[in-house]
């Protein structure tokens, strides 16, 4: 069978090259002819109606509009555009999970702005400062690898951050102190947790992303952690994904974020699980 792998023309990295290589190699084992298109090529094909329908699309990007356009042609996309949209925007993820009995850090999201300079003395800064103790966590709604996530230690830092960010939407969260510099990455495929690892940053940074210097170690997720990861995956409509959980007091799980196209370069080494095979097995079962 033929399938498409959609990637992003504007994102090039060695880590992603490895993921692509593993996906292509794995596809061969399942007799899938996996044809790769970047987002620009893909839109071009669809726009010009210049294609024959594949059996499915493995969408390894966050270009939600393009995923949605493919779906409009009656083609099944993994992950679906809806689930990618919910994961990609951290404020939407938070809102989607609000009524699901999933513990999340106390969170507020930025107001919709019509002008850039509306924050300093309109009561909003006071609202944030009354709601959170220093230090608290500032996250742009769209971001990866910990790059758009930072700690705010003072009022002036907060004001500088908000001024520098312009119209970009963000969330503010309480810092879960018991999880400082560590978290749990759980990889879910279908309704199964297939691998998990503890990530730890020994450099003093509160973020546990591999890309900011953490390393992963084997970790056997508890029933509560597994239950939370599966519930999150289901609520967000993911077929597969990497779920980040924080460690609350007594290892109680607290949801951090969900990744619709999580890299698995570290977790496959730590767990020995061939994530790419699990993804194709699941897709073939569901089409």
Ligand X SMILES: Nc1ncnc2c1ncn2[C@@H]1O[C@H](COP(=O)(O)OP(=O)(O)O)[C@@H](O)[C@H]1O
Q: Which does 105 bind (CB under 5 to 8 A by kind): Mg ion, ligand X, none?
A: ligand X
Q: Is 233 left (phi over 0), alpha (psi -120 to 50) or beta?
A: alpha
88 scored as a contact of Mg ion (CB under 5 A):
no
Of ligand X, Mg ion, none, which one sits near residue 169, judging by CB under 5 to 8 A according to partner kind? none
Backbone angles phi, psi at 88, to 5 degrees: -65, -35
**Cβ 143 to ligand X shortest distance, Å:** 5
The smaller minimum CB distance to ligand X, of residues 144 and 265, is found at 144
In whole angstroms, give the CA distance from residue 278 to residue 220: 19
Torsion of CA 137, 181, 88, 283, to 10 degrees: -160
User: If contact means CB under 5 to 8 A according to the sort of partner, which of ligand X, Mg ion, none does residue 86 touch?
Assistant: none
Of residues 70 and 128, the one with the C-beta less far from ligand X = 128
Subset of 160-189 contacting Mg ion (CB under 5 A): none
Helices 223-236 and 90-97 pack at an angle, to 10 degrees, of 110
Per CB under 5 A, which region of 33-41, 122-130, 163-171, 257-265 contacts Mg ion? 257-265
Which ranges in 137-182 belong to alpha helices (H)?
A: 155-165
Shortest Cβ 233–Mg ion spacing (Å):
15
Residue of 2, 174, 168 whose CA lies nearest to 76: 2
Closest distance to Mg ion from the beta carbon of 3 (Å): 27
Q: Whose Cβ is closer to Mg ion: residue 46's or residue 212's?
A: 212
Residue 258 Cβ vs ligand X, minimum distance, rounded to whole Å:
9
Least distance from C-beta 201 to ligand X, angstroms? 7
Distance separating alpha carbons of residues 185 and 266, to the nearest angstrom: 10
Q: By C-alpha distance, which of 194, 196, 210 is closest to 251?
A: 196
From ligand X, Mg ion, none, which one binds at residue 278 (CB under 5 to 8 Å depending on kind)? none
Question: Residues with Cβ < 8 Å from 254, sequence gap 6 or more?
Answer: 103, 104, 105, 176, 179, 245, 246, 247, 248
- Is 268 among the residues that bind Mg ion (CB under 5 A)? no
Nearer to ligand X (CB atom), residue 51 or residue 145: 145
| Dist. CA 213–CA 199, nearest whole Å | 10
**How many residues of this chain interact with Mg ion, rule: CB under 5 A?**
2
Give residues in contact with ligand X (CB under 6 A). Answer: 105, 137, 139, 143-146, 148-149, 173, 175-176, 179, 183, 206-209, 244, 246, 256-257
**C-beta of 244 vs 276, nearer to Mg ion:** 244
User: Residues 61, 244, 266, 276: which binds Mg ion (CB under 5 A)?
Assistant: 244
Helix H segments across 30-109?
39-47, 64-72, 81-88, 90-97
Query: If binding is defined by CB under 5 A, does position 140 make contact with Mg ion?
Result: no
For residue 54, the partner it binds in Mg ion, ligand X, none, with Cβ less than 5 to 8 A by kind, is none
Q: Closest CB to ligand X among 139 and 278?
A: 139
Torsional sign, CA 231, 232, 233, 236: positive
Summarize as ranges the residues that interact with Mg ion (CB under 5 A): 244, 257
């Amino acid at each position: 069978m033929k399938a498409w792998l959609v990637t992003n023309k504007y994102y090039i990295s060695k880590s992603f090259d490895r993921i692509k290589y593993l996906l292509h190699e794995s596809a061969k084992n399942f007799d899938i002819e996996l044809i790769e298109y970047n987002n620009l090529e893909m839109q071009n094909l669809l726009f010009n109606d210049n294609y024959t329908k594949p059996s499915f699309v493995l969408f390894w990007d966050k270009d939600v509009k393009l995923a949605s356009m493919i779906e409009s042609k009656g083609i099944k996309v993994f992950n679906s555009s809806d689930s990618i949209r919910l994961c990609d925007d951290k404020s939407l993820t938070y809102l989607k999970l609000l009524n699901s009995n999933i513990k999340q850090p106390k969170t507020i999201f930025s107001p919709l702005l019509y002008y850039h300079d509306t924050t300093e003395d309109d009561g909003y800064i006071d609202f944030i400062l009354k709601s959170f103790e220093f230090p608290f966590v500032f996250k742009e709604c769209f971001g990866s690898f910990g790059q758009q996530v930072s700690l705010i230690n003072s009022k002036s830092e907060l004001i500088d951050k908000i001024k520098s960010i312009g119209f970009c939407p963000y969330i503010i969260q309480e810092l879960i102190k018991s999880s400082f510099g560590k978290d749990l990455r759980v990889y879910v495929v279908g309704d199964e947790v297939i691998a998990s690892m503890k990530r730890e940053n020994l450099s003093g940074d509160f973020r546990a992303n591999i890309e900011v210097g953490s390393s992963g170690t084997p970790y056997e997720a508890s029933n509560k952690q597994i239950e939370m990861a599966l519930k999150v995956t289901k609520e967000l409509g993911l077929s597969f994904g990497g779920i980040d959980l924080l460690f609350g007091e007594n290892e109680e799980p607290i949801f951090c974020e969900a990744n619709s196209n999580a890299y698995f370069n570290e977790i496959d080494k730590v767990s020995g699980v061939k994530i790419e095979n699990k993804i194709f097995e699941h897709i073939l079962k569901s089409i």
